[in-house]
Structure 1
Amino acid sequence: MTRAIDSHLAGGNRRSLAGYQPEHFLWRQQGGVGVITLNRPERKNPLTFESYAELRDLFRVLCYVDEVKTIVVQGAGGNFCSGGDVHEIIGPLTQMTMPDLLAFTRMTGDLVKAMRACPQPIVAAIDGVCAGAGAIMAMASDLRVGTARSKLAFLFSRVGLAGCDMGACAILPRIIGQGRASDLLYSGRSLGGEEAYQWGFHNRLAEPEALEATALQWAQEIASGPTFGHAMTKKMLHQEWSMSVDDAIEAEALAQAVCMMTQDFQRAYHAFVAKQKPVFEGD
C-alpha cells in the first residue's frame, strides 16, 4: 500500500534520486540500497575539492529520500580511497590564505557531519588503500567490512599536520579506544586488515572477490528492517556521545515511545501473533 503524503510535506520534505547522476563518483540504487563508488582507480580513488562537496551534498539530500534505506560506500579497482589528491588538493592548499584554508577544512568536516546526520546506516566496503580522508570516510560510516589485505592509515602526521582532522579525535577513540586511536593518529602508520578487525575498526572481514557482495547483503538485510527505528538508533548513537547516562536514558525513552507509534511496531506484533516474519515498510 502506498503511503499518502500531504502535498505541502511532499514538496518540502521528500526528495527522489531517480535519474541522479553525480559527476565525481558513481551512484546506483539496488533495491533499497544506494551504492556510492569512488571511481578514480588509476590513482587509488583520491578525493578532490569537487568530490568532497558533491559527496557532502548527496548525504545531505539523503535525509529527505525515503526510497533509499541504507548506503554502501566503496572504491573501484581494489582500493577504497587514498585520501585527498596530492596534486589537486594538497598542492593548492600550500598556496591558500588562512580564510580559504578554514573554508576547506570546514567543508571536509561538513562531509562527516552529513554522513552522521543522514538517517540511513552506511556500510563501508574497504579493500586495499584506505588512507587520510578515505580513512575518515570509513570511520564516519556506521559499519565496516574490510579485507585482510586492506591498509588503514590516518596519514595526517606524515604530512606535517595534526591528527585532529574531520572529527578523528572524537570518533575514532569511540570505535577502537583512546590508546589505539592515539597510536594511529600520532604515528600515521598503516593498520592491516586483520589487525583492524581485531581492534574493532572492521566489523567483518571478507575475501576481496566477495567484499562488495558481503557489504550489499549486509546493507540489504538492514534495509529490510524497521528503517524508521534504524534511523532513530543512528540518531541516538550519535547524540548520546555528549549526554549523561540519565539524559541518555530519558532520550531513549522518548525515542522508543515514538517508535511504538509506528506501523512497523504494529506489523511486528501481528506477525508474531500469527507466527510469521514481519514485513517492515518504514512507517
Structure 2
Amino acid sequence: MAPDTTPTINAALMAGNRRPLAGYRATHFLWACSDGVARITLNRPERKNPLSFESYAELRDLFVALRHAHDVRAIVIAGAGGNFCSGGDVHEIIGPLIALPAPELLMFTRMTGDLVKAMRHCPQPIVAAVDGVCAGAGAILAMASDLRYGTARSKTAFLFARVGLAGCDMGACAMLPRIVGQGRAAEWIYSGRSVEGAEAERWGFFNRLVEPDALVAEATAFARQLADGPAFAHSLTKSMLHQEWAMDIDTAIEAEAQAQALCMLTEDFGHAYRAFAAKTKPVFEGR
C-alpha cells in the first residue's frame, strides 16, 4: 500500500479558515445542502418571497461565512411558490425607510450592497433559478449570481425608477451592462419595465430557459456538475471573472498566469492527468 502523502494542515489554521456549513440552520429562508450542493429558497410565497431587513442581513452573513465553507462547493438560489423574489417588502422595509434619517438610510443601503459583495466574493459558483416575479432586489440577487436559469413566464424588473429611486442600486449600473450590454441595461433600468423570459434570454441575462416544473432540478443538476469539478480552480475562475473587470489586458493576462500556476500545484490537476492517461473520468477533491 502506498504511503499517505496528504499534507497535515495545522489545526489552528484549519479552525480559522475552513468551517463546515452544510448543516447551517437558516432562520429567514430555507437552506439545504447535499453532497456539496447547497440550496437557498426564499420562502414567503404568499407575498412572492420579498426580502426583509432580517433576511437581507442573514443572507449577507451567510455568503460571508461561505468563504470558509469547505463542505459547500456550489449554490442554487430559488424562490418558493412559482416566484423568485418580489424585492424589498413594501410594508416591512419601504414603509419604515421613509421615516429614517440619512445615517440609518445609508446603513440600510450599505447592508444591501454588502450582500452583493458577499455573493461575488464567496468562492462557490451561484446558480439562480428564476421563475415568475423577479423584481427590484430580487433582480439584483439574480444579477449577482454567476449563472441564471429562467422560465418563459419569468418577469424580471429593475424597478427602482418606478418607486422614485435611482437605478444605481446594489451594483446594478456596474454589473448589468456587463451582462446584457450598456444600451439594453440603460433601457431596462430607466424604464423599470418587466422583461419576460424569452427576451431576457436573448439579451444574455438568462443562460437558458427551462420549463417551470423542471427549473430547480435543472439548476441543481448544473450546480452538481460544478460541485463535482475542481472546486479550487472554479473558485479562481470566479475570482478572475470578478477582478478582471477593473484590469487592463496585460494585468489580466498576468493575473491569470499566476492563478493557473496555482491550479497546476493542486492534486486535482494531477488527478485529471492520470485519469486522461488511463482513459477514465477524473474524481476531483477540491484541493
**Is TM > 0.5 for Structure 1 vs Structure 2?**
yes
Distance 2:153 2:22 in 1: 36
1:37 maps to 2:41: yes
1:224 to 215, 221, 228: 228
2:44 is the counterpart of 1:46: no
1:140 and 2:157 are equivalent in the alignment: no
The aligned counterpart of 1:122 is: 126
Q: Which of the residues 260, 267, 273 maps onto 1:256?
A: 260
1:192-232 deviation per Cα after TM superposition (whole angstroms, max 9, x unaligned):
00000010000011000000110010000111111100000
How well do the aligned residues superpose, as a CA RMSD in angstroms? 1.0
In the TM superposition, what are the counterparts of 1:4-23 in structure 2 within 5 Å?
A: 4-23=8-27
Q: 2:111 aligns with which of 107, 113, 133?
A: 107
Are the equivalent residues in 1 in contact too, given 2:275–2:282 (CA < 8 A)? yes
Q: CA deviation at 1:4?
A: 4.1
Partner Cα separation in structure 2 for residue 180 and residue 45 of structure 1: 27
Residue 283 (structure 2) aligns with: 279
Residue type of the alignment partner of 1:57: D
- Supply the distance in 1 between the matched residues of 2:39 and 2:155 (Cα, whole angstroms): 22
How far apart are residue 10 of structure 1 and its match? 1.4
Equivalent residues, number: 283
SS in structure 2 at match of 1:24: coil
What SS does structure 1 have at the residue aligned with 2:33? strand
Sort the Cα spacing of 1:124 and 1:233 in 2 relative to 1 into closer, same or farther, 3 A: same
Q: 1:226 to 1:19 in 2, by over 3 A?
A: closer
Map Cα deviations across residues 9-57 of structure 1 (whole Å, 9 max, x no partner): 1111111125321110000002110100000000000000000000000
* Residues 1:189 and 2:207 are matched in the alignment: no
The yes-or-no answer on 1:267 pairing with 2:271 is yes
Structure 1 letter corresponding to 2:165 = L
Letter in 2 for 1:7: A
Q: Which moved more, 1:238-247 or 1:8-17?
A: 8-17
Q: Distance in 2 between matches of 1:234 and 1:39?
A: 28
Structure 1 residue 159 displacement after superposition: 0.2
Structure 1 residues 258 and 48, CA, compared in 2 at 3 Å: closer, same or farther? same
Q: Partner residue of 2:31?
A: 27
Amino acid at match of 1:224: D
**Which residue of structure 1 lines up, in the alignment, with residue 248 of structure 2?**
244
TM-score by length of 1: 0.98
Residue 81 of structure 2: aligned partner: 77
Alignment partner of 1:55 is 2:93 = no
- Give the Cα–Cα distance (whole angstroms) in 2 for the partners of residues 7 and 152 of structure 1: 46
* 1:161 counterpart residue number: 165
CA distance in 1, matches of 2:91, 2:170: 20
Offset at residue 272 of structure 1 (A): 0.7
- Cα deviation for residue 5 of structure 1 reads 3.0
In structure 1, the residue matched to 2:211 is 207
Query: Hey, what does 2:154 align to over in structure 1?
Result: 150
SS in 2 for 1:72: strand
Distance 1:191 1:81, change over 3 A: same
In the aligned structure 2, how far is the partner of 1:45 from the partner of 1:91? 17
Unaligned runs of 5+ in 2: none
User: What secondary structure does 1:265 align onto?
Assistant: helix
Q: Distance in 2 between matches of 1:162 and 1:119?
A: 30
Percent identity (aligned): 70
